[in-house]
Structure 1
């Protein structure tokens, strides 16, 4: 696999709930791309200055825990001219930001090679990444600078209809935590494999 980790891997279990209940830019500093808070006069590139229009998609990849799988996803992303792709069932452990060829992957997984979610995007969009949070091995959220509003993407991998009730309830608690990480005025995109409550 030809990627290198650019951030320290965080244990999904190690993320504290108090940090997840805060909106980005306030108390969540451990997962920010740059340490510390960005000043109000920050000249960070915004999504609208990078592209007039973006193509986004989500994909249940079944696994990225096999040789060549991530490269295959990148080839398909390039072939379809996609800028951001949400990934479900990545089966990677831990949580980190990885550089893969000319793409950036934010991923969140558990301690075993099951479940896992990620968001894959172009290097040009990386400049607009404000912050991200690995909520669990079923939910990850990323916030991008935009104009007039910032955009939050929540990638999910919901349990199946045969899952235990506790697992389903935990998933929806994680989804609520992810939504609380975003501000009310942010544009929110929630995607992945969802099941009705």
Structure 2
């Protein structure tokens, strides 16, 4: 049986604080007080747009690799960066100068997913949940909307079908847990080639495509159709 999801939700977990001055109502690192309670009237940024991307980092196993990542994205205006293959064991939240790193991983030196979030959005984060070392999600709340982002790292083509089905079952579990949320994004590394859309796939795919579809791509399209998802990099 797979271990239960690792959740970090400070609205519900009172044990994360060591002092009863007051209890945090949102995500803070262990031992911190909630010094900046949420202000729901705050806009996302000057243009009221949130910029989200995903990146397979290969590894964030040590502080040097983290510094390399920050250096690599310093000129890219990304608010939330989904991370795949972080290879950083544990389910933790780490606070740095300008960013918050949330991640989950179980196998040393392999897999792992997470998020790198600009520190200015700390008060908007209400929950981080690591379902497995391949699937995690984060929930954010703003004055005008809620947003849930699922980050994935799918098994490679060399993995067996059992691993692939386990991955999609966990991904479906994430969708089920977010069932009442209207704004859900799925980002990450699916290790799939979806190729040219078929006639009955217009709801999931646009007109842009590349290369031929493989079996993992077929499985991804099937999942997108079942969950009424659109694959955005095929749509202009």
Instruction: Specify the SS of the correspondent of 1:114.
Output: coil
**Residue number among 2, 7, 10 corresponding to 1:33 in the alignment:** 10
Structure 1 residue runs of 4 or more that deviate by more than 2 Å after TM superposition = 13-16, 33-38, 43-48, 75-78, 146-149, 183-186
Matched, 1:45 2:34: no
Gaps of 5+ in 2: 15-24, 26-36, 193-216, 220-236
Q: Provide the aligned C-alpha RMSD in A.
A: 2.3
Deviates more, 1:48-57 or 1:125-134: 48-57
**Residues paired across the two proteins, number:** 169
Residue 55 of structure 1 deviates from its aligned partner by: 1.7
- Map 1:3-152 to 2 at 5 A: 14-15=3-4, 31-35=8-12, 44-46=38-40, 49-51=43-45, 52-152=48-148
**Which structure is richer in relative contact order (CA contacts within 8 A, separation 6 or more)?**
1
Deviates more, 1:180-189 or 1:154-163: 180-189
**Residue number among 156, 169, 175 corresponding to 1:173 in the alignment:** 169
Question: Greater CA radius of gyration, 1 or 2?
Answer: 2
Residues 1:164 and 1:55: Cα distance change in structure 2 (over 3 Å): same
**Residue number among 149, 166, 181 corresponding to 1:153 in the alignment:** 149
Gaps of 5+ in 1: 1-12, 21-29
Give me the TM-score of the superposition, normalised by structure 2: 0.65
User: What is the rounded CA distance, in whole Å, between the counterparts of 1:64 and 1:46 in structure 2?
Assistant: 32
Give me the TM-score of the superposition, normalised by structure 1: 0.77
